[in-house]
């Protein structure tokens, strides 16, 4: 039995992953944006151990979430599932960062840095990451501008940087496909169940094909990704920017 923490597990793929893991006998701690959504998440996922709440668009709340996770003890896996899609670039959080950047990029970076290292880390990316900008130019200057594709490339870069730096942690990224969730829309063509199977498998399976690191998966199979994501120099540039924007240092091995 494994113990897993899942961000953004009040609905969508995160909630489905939580339900699946609970049904398999694992211990699952949920995360929701606020207490009301937290109560809804617990009601929708009978058997979950607990729910933690934090608005991931806030640097302060994200740092506090990491502390709250650590107070619960060690976890075998963390699934970085939370994300936003339809947010306009000018919309900023309380820290002056674009909300899309804060939630999709900076929050998983902060949580990765501050949560006690689990055995496995899984990051939800997207096939749209191939349209992201590996030059990271949107993260420079006074006006920060990122697209959803950029943020999903960032998540892949983070996953691969962790795999390169932390040899005792299995770190991988997942493309769940374009699935019919609230984010994906009712008309999304991909299979919803298949969209959740890979992250559950990576979090718990003892299959040799699941116990790898630094890979990018779609439907339990390693698949092609933008090559720049695996470039150590690009990763280091990305980590330095995240540290500057968040004030949180990336820890070593």
Catalytic residues: 148, 152
Q: Report the C-alpha gap between 3 and 21 in whole angstroms.
A: 9
Q: Are 100 and 132 in contact (CB under 8 A)?
A: no
Closest by Cα among 61, 66, 68 to 93 = 61
């Amino acid at each position: 039995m494994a113990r897993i923490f899942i961000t953004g597990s009040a609905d969508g793929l995160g909630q489905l992953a939580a339900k699946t893991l609970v049904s398999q006998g694992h211990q699952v701690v949920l995360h929701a944006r606020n207490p009301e959504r937290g109560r809804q998440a617990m009601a929708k996922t009978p058997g979950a151990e607990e729910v933690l709440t934090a608005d991931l668009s806030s640097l302060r709340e994200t740092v506090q979430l990491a502390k709250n996770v650590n107070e619960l003890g060690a976890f075998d896996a963390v699934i970085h599932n939370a994300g936003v899609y339809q947010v306009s670039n000018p919309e900023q959080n309380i820290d002056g960062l674009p909300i899309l950047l804060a939630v999709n990029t900076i929050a998983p970076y902060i949580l990765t840095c501050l949560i006690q290292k689990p055995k496995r880390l899984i990051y939800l990316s997207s096939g749209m990451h191939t349209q992201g900008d590996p030059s990271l130019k949107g993260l420079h200057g006074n006006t920060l501008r990122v697209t959803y594709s950029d943020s999903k490339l960032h998540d892949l870069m983070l996953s691969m940087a962790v795999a390169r730096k932390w040899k005792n942690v299995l770190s991988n990224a997942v493309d769940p496909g374009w699935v019919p969730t609230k984010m994906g829309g009712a008309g999304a063509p991909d299979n919803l169940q298949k969209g959740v199977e890979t992250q559950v498998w990576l979090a718990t399976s003892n299959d040799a094909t699941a116990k790898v690191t630094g890979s990018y998966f779609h439907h339990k199979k390693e698949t092609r990704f933008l090559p720049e994501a695996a470039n150590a120099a690009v990763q280091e540039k990305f980590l330095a920017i995240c540290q500057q924007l968040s004030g949180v240092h990336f820890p070593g091995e």
